[in-house]
Structure 1
Amino acid sequence: MTIEPILAASPAIQIHVWAALGALMLGAAQFTTRRGSTLHRSLGWVWIVLIAAVALSSLFIHQIRMVGLWSPIHLLTVTTTVTLVYAIYAARARNHRGHGIALASIYVTGLIGAGAFTLMPGRIMHQVLFGG
């Protein structure tokens, strides 16, 4: 295992990777905090910033091009952004169920699901974990 492929990547990829890894770890911890507590809310805002950084940085990553600069994975950027805005709205409206479902869906589909595709041969995270 080596982080050299990440360090050799573009700044957009580096931001994307570090924010995604941070969000993955913080999100796992967030599931264990008491809902509504100051800790849950504080960590939640940090998590939202990390997810927003993941989504924003993805707009500058164009290694897989299918339609101009874009690939189907960029649809996840749009979905994540809309879901993130909805989750904030739901929390403010005290719709705890909607808030939880929205954020859990981002965690599962955006971080775990899309993250799994980064482990395919030829991708940077595959190189990080399994070598050249």
Structure 2
Amino acid sequence: MSLAPLIAAPLLIQIHAAAATAALALGGYQMASIKGSKAHRRLGWSWVALMALVAATSLGIVSNWPVVGRFGPIHGLSALVLITLPLAVLHARRGRIANHRSAMRGLFLGGLVIAGLFTLLPGRLMYHVVFGG
């Protein structure tokens, strides 16, 4: 493992990776912690902000697999995250906890875990960070 490729990357990518890593850690904690408490709500707002930052910064990163211009499939996921985040919060505020839970789990698994696994494909920056070479 070497952080050298990430340190050499543009600032936007560094911010994106740092926000994604923080969101992954905080999201994992949130999934395992007691729900409905003040701490859960405060940390939840932090997680929402991190996820919005992850999605927004990804829109400035050029796709390895462009479909439309410089945008690829992952950019569609970013748009979905930016739409789903406020809806998930709205569900919680309106007491629709099952919908909130489902949306947040989907955002965590799809927007972070699965998308994160794609960053580990050979040739991608995070592949070089984690596996070297």
| Band of TM-score, shorter chain | over 0.9
RMSD, matched Cα: 0.9
- Paired residues of 1:30 and 1:44 also in contact (CA < 8 A): yes
Matched, 1:130 2:125: no
Structure 2 residue identity aligned to 1:111: L
Aligned twin of 1:106: 107
When the two structures are superposed, what TM-score results if normalisation uses the length of structure 2?
0.96
Aligned twin of 1:60: 60
Q: Which runs of 5+ in 2 are unaligned?
A: none
Aligned twin of 1:96: 97
Deviation at 1:61, TM superposition (A): 0.2
Matched, 1:120 2:121: yes
1:31-69 residue CA offsets vs partner (Å, 9 max, x unmatched): 122111011011101100100000000010004233211
Number of aligned residues? 132
Percent identity for Structure 1 against Structure 2: 44
Aligned twin of 1:43: 43
Following TM superposition, the consecutive aligned residue runs of length 4 or more in structure 1 with deviations greater than 3 angstroms are: none
